[in-house]
């Protein structure tokens, strides 16, 4: 069952990409006491994710923060080293916090997985964005397969 508006972010562990290396992060603690714009991509370095999804959140970061967002985070079913390299290539810096979900534990916990086996990708997270306020999902925008509309930074910004 998929997470929905009004639900709390479930307990899970993701790995934060830091300059000092990977750091385990408890999701309940990460989302507590602040507003986080979280977006999920099926995979780092994939075409839409690299050309539009991540760059959109980088470009709209100032506006999102002016709208009350404390932190912008990206999650993907990739390891922390891949997300770190992707962040570096896109010059995300401190603008977007990368949260690696290498085993898809978080994706499963929120009920937003997809089957990418026919593309050799295994279990991945669906493409979505959500606004999480103090650990509670306030907005959730899940894409239809193959689409990129409602999970964009522009769409989330328009909803603030």
Query: Is 49 designated active site?
Result: yes
Q: In sequence order, what DSSP letters do the residues of 67-113 get, joined into one string? A: TT-SEEEEEESS-HHHHHHHHHHTT-TTTSEEEE-TTSHHHHHTT-E
Neighbours of 60 (CB within 10 A): 20
Strands 97-100 and 71-76, sheet pairing = parallel
| Token reading at 20 | 């000092």
Cα 155–chain centre separation? 15
Residues 77, 104: Cα–Cα separation, whole Å: 5
**Which one from 3, 36, 41, 49 is the annotated catalytic residue?**
49
From the number of C-beta atoms within 10 Å of its C-beta (0-12, 13-18, 19+), residue 52 rates as middle
Any idea which residues carry the catalytic annotation? 49
């Amino acid at each position: 069952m998929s997470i929905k508006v009004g639900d709390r972010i479930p307990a899970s562990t993701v790995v934060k990409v830091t300059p000092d290396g990977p750091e385990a992060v408890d999701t309940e603690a990460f989302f507590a006491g602040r507003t986080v714009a979280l977006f999920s991509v099926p995979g780092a370095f994939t075409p839409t994710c690299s050309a539009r999804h991540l760059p959109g959140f980088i470009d709209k970061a100032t506006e999102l923060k002016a709208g009350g967002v404390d932190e912008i985070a990206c999650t993907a079913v990739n390891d922390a080293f891949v997300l770190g390299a992707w962040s570096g290539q896109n010059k995300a810096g401190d603008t977007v916090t990368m949260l690696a979900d290498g085993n898809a534990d978080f994706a499963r916990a929120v009920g937003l997985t997809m089957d990418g086996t026919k593309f050799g990708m295994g279990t991945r997270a669906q493409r979505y964005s959500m606004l999480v306020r103090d650990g509670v999902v306030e907005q959730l925008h899940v894409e239809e397969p193959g689409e990129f509309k409602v999970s964009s930074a522009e769409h989330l910004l328009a909803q603030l």
